[in-house]
Structure 1
Amino acid sequence: MIEVVASMARGPVFLAGEVMECLITFTNPISHLSTSASSEMLAWASAQIHCQFHASESRVALPAQGTKQDVQAESDTVLIPSRGEGGQCMLDTPPKILFCDLRLDPGESRTYSYSEVVPNDGPPSFRGQSVKYVYKLTIGCQRVSSPIKLLRVPFRVLVLHGMPEPPFPQDEEVAPSNPFLEEEEGGRRDDRPLERALDMLTITSRRCPHLFNITNMRGKVAKFCIFKTVYRLGEDIIGTFDFSEGDIPCIQYSVSLQSEEEIQQGYQRRPGQSINVTGHGRHLESCLHTASTHFSLPVPLNVTPGFSTDIVTLRWRLHFEFVTSREPMESHNVLQNQPEVTVWTGAEHVDVDTFSWDLPIKVLPTNPALTSYVSQFTGTNSINI
């Protein structure tokens, strides 16, 4: 028996265009139950990245697939990274051979390093109500005259539009090495695409206040101010309300952070199909006789930033709901040095109006190291062959 362990040391989250590295260890363990141990052989092992696409049949109409079958694909001795998985393989990278003819003595282990650029032209990882995009690193291993065994390590991909291309070739191991250059310089060079992407994300730190007058058919309710409309994952959305300038009393308001998942018209199962709306946080406040107030909604680290493909578009918005009174509401003033105790009670019946408003915002990725802490993936998996 050979134990195969794959581990992504930096974490299971990467930006598209970034170099993903994974250490893959092959071990011939010594069992205390066995009286004799022997060497183990593997014919070869390879690794590659692939993205699997899943769609809801009730909401997405995909083109019919051809009925032609590949005889080789049905053979368990041919490497197919998406073998046994549902959906369609959207993209995959060329396989890289880790070794050929590996022999392991009892207790011996070998570790191989796999590195690959996460494709720039793919969608981000996304688990929606209608479609899903799932990324996995697949490691294939085979003994002589035996079926191929697959080890899959799921990971998350964040896509930042405008991500710079890697400024250096990825197959640098074939080039002559310079003994006068430290290895750390190569590591820093690998991080350049990530550093450039993080520099691009500094746009979210720029503040440009946006002012809105909230009104209904009866008049002005409040003035709303939001400091920016572009946010990174993990940032707080902060907005303020000024009710002192309003003509209509506002009894209650709520703000919800929502994402909209819309199937492109050409792939909708039914004409005029509704958009899937998902809530990711809500602030509710009673504000009668309140001059000013504010709210704060965090953007979760585990959600998917906005994106668009040929099949689906994901957008973000703030959804506001207001409850206003149809009649003026008298405010109670506390007199100084009032000798008697006064008890205030709310009105038993108030005629109200309700209305809503949607404010589009943009949600961008953040540093992958931050999102790794809340990822559902561990970046590690193992299999026994």
Structure 2
Amino acid sequence: MIEVTATLPRGSAYLAGEQIKCHVTFKNSRPNNGDRNRLENCDQIAWASVQIHCQCSVSESRVKLVRSNSLSTEEVSTTGCNTSFVPNRGERGLTVFSTKPKILFCDLQLLPGESKTYLYCDSLPQDAPPSFRGQAVKYSYKLTIGTQRLNHPTRLLRIPIRVLVLYGLNDISVYNEPEEVAPTNPFLKAQRQENSLLDVALQVIATVTARKSPNTYNITNARGKVGKFCLFKLAYKLGEDIVGVFDFTGSTIPCVQFSVTLQSEEQIAEECRIKSKDSILVMPYSKQQEMCLHLSKTHICVPIPMVVTPGFITDTVCLRWRLHFEFVTALNPVPGPPLPTSPEESTSWMGAPVLDVETMVWDLPIKIFPSNPIHASGALVLRTTNSISV
């Protein structure tokens, strides 16, 4: 009996374009009793290969996939024999992306108690689709190890991974520091050091999401001014808080309460829609609700979950993000509490039991970018180690 164990040393989240490493260990689980005839108890594995693939599964009542020359997983499972390496065997949907399979070894022999570890390294293209679990479309990545013992069927070991995509990193050389600007030491030999793709990506994310450009919006309806809203920036990364300020001074329409919800817009491509009414699917996430009657100023603080998918676009679906506001305004003026005439006095106020109100909505588009994949790995429940016995 040979135990196969696969481990992702850096976690389960990666940025498209960076290198993914996996340690694959093969161990003969038979105890080593010091027998002279250990060679007779030697176990042998014919081969082992590793491949990363992305499966796309859709809601059949909403989306129709444009068929290509590639076979579905059901067709692959029926046409291939059980001794070949088919990483997507048994998976749902279509394989929209897969790396070239890499062979770890051929004809491996292990004595009782002996083990051997191999390092698998590969990278995904920067324009690959990100990991996404939507209402109509789902993209899921898995790293699959296939192995076979002599005269036995192929066994598959899978580890799910999360892929984040940051667009615009096709040429990382433009982000490297020029030689004439970089600090130099005349007593040391000049060495050119290029930044890795992950370092460049983190620098770009920090630069884009750190730009503070306050945007002020006047909230009005047909009867007058409700208030003013200030959002300090429009670009955020996973795990950040969206902070904004409401200013109700000078408003002519009293606002009783408001709510703000972080929502995603999942828009299906026109050629893939089954029903026109299902073109845009909205999913709510974090929400804040507050009573604001007679308040002059207040603020919002809406967290962005680390597990959501930043905005992206593929041939099948487009994902965008927005803040959805709902304002409940009074149709008639609501008198406030009387102010005390001296510091020793105190007043109490009871609101009206019934108010004539109306509701108005407002959607504000925002952008969400990936965060450090190391931090994203800590928020996932995906396992980084898996094992099987062959």
Whether TM exceeds 0.5 here: the answer is yes
Does the 8 A contact of 1:164 with 1:193 survive in 2? no
187, 202, 205: which one aligns with 1:201: 205
Aligned position for 1:86: 92
For residue 277 of structure 2, give the secondary structure of its aligned residue in structure 1: coil
Aligned position for 1:3: 3
User: Which range is displaced more, 296-305 or 265-274?
Assistant: 265-274
Write the deviation string for residues 13-52 of structure 1: whole angstroms up to 9, x where unpaired: 000000000100000113599x997211001111111101
Write the deviation string for residues 139-176 of structure 1: whole angstroms up to 9, x where unpaired: 11011232111111110000000124588xxxxxxxxx
Aligned position for 1:146: 152
**Structure 1 residue 342: deviation in Å?**
4.2
**Structure 1 residue 220: deviation in Å?**
0.3
Q: Could you say if the C-alpha distance between residues 67 and 6 of structure 1 is closer, same or farther in structure 2, counting changes exceeding 3 Å?
A: closer
**Structure 1 residue 310: deviation in Å?**
0.8
Aligned position for 2:18: 18
Does the 8 A contact of 1:252 with 1:284 survive in 2? yes
Aligned position for 1:178: none
Identity %: 49
Aligned position for 1:116: 122
For residue 372 of structure 1, give the secondary structure of its aligned residue in structure 2: helix
The residue type equivalent to 1:207 in the other structure is K
Give the Cα separation in 2 of the matches to 1:337 and 1:384: 81
For residue 239 of structure 1, give the secondary structure of its aligned residue in structure 2: strand
The residue type equivalent to 1:61 in the other structure is K
Give the Cα separation in 1 of the matches to 2:87 and 2:70: 21
Does the 8 A contact of 1:17 with 1:165 survive in 2? no
Aligned position for 1:173: none
**TM-score (normalised: structure 1):** 0.89
**Structure 1 residue 273: deviation in Å?**
2.3
Does the 8 A contact of 2:218 with 2:227 survive in 1? yes
The residue type equivalent to 1:200 in the other structure is V
Give the Cα separation in 2 of the matches to 1:166 and 1:73: 42
Give RMSD over aligned pairs.
2.4
The residue type equivalent to 2:352 in the other structure is A
Instruction: Say whether residues 1:136 and 2:153 are aligned partners.
Output: no
Aligned position for 1:170: none
**Structure 1 residue 336: deviation in Å?**
3.7
The residue type equivalent to 1:241 in the other structure is F
Give the Cα separation in 1 of the matches to 2:340 and 2:346: 11
Q: Could you say if the C-alpha distance between residues 340 and 233 of structure 1 is closer, same or farther in structure 2, counting changes exceeding 3 Å?
A: closer
Aligned position for 2:196: 192
Instruction: Say whether residues 1:257 and 2:259 are aligned partners.
Output: no
**Structure 1 residue 100: deviation in Å?**
1.1
The residue type equivalent to 1:76 in the other structure is N
Q: Could you say if the C-alpha distance between residues 336 and 32 of structure 1 is closer, same or farther in structure 2, counting changes exceeding 3 Å?
A: farther
Aligned position for 1:105: 111
Q: Give the aligned length.
A: 364
Gaps of 5+ in 2: 174-190
Gaps of 5+ in 1: 168-184
For residue 355 of structure 1, give the secondary structure of its aligned residue in structure 2: strand
Give the Cα separation in 2 of the matches to 1:260 and 1:93: 30
**TM-score (normalised: structure 2):** 0.88
56, 65, 70: which one aligns with 1:62: 65
1:304-319 alignment, distance < 5 Å: 304-319=309-324
Instruction: Say whether residues 1:44 and 2:50 are aligned partners.
Output: no
**Structure 1 residue 311: deviation in Å?**
0.6
Write the deviation string for residues 288-347 of structure 1: whole angstroms up to 9, x where unpaired: 110000010111110000001111111100000001111112122331447776442110
Aligned position for 1:127: 133
Q: Could you say if the C-alpha distance between residues 109 and 90 of structure 1 is closer, same or farther in structure 2, counting changes exceeding 3 Å?
A: same
**Structure 1 residue 255: deviation in Å?**
0.6
**Structure 1 residue 272: deviation in Å?**
3.4
1:199-348 alignment, distance < 5 Å: 199-202=203-206, 203-337=208-342, 342-348=347-353
For residue 44 of structure 2, give the secondary structure of its aligned residue in structure 1: strand
Does the 8 A contact of 2:8 with 2:23 survive in 1? yes
Does the 8 A contact of 1:221 with 1:248 survive in 2? yes
Does the 8 A contact of 1:72 with 1:78 survive in 2? no
Give the Cα separation in 1 of the matches to 2:382 and 2:348: 56
Q: Could you say if the C-alpha distance between residues 96 and 353 of structure 1 is closer, same or farther in structure 2, counting changes exceeding 3 Å?
A: same
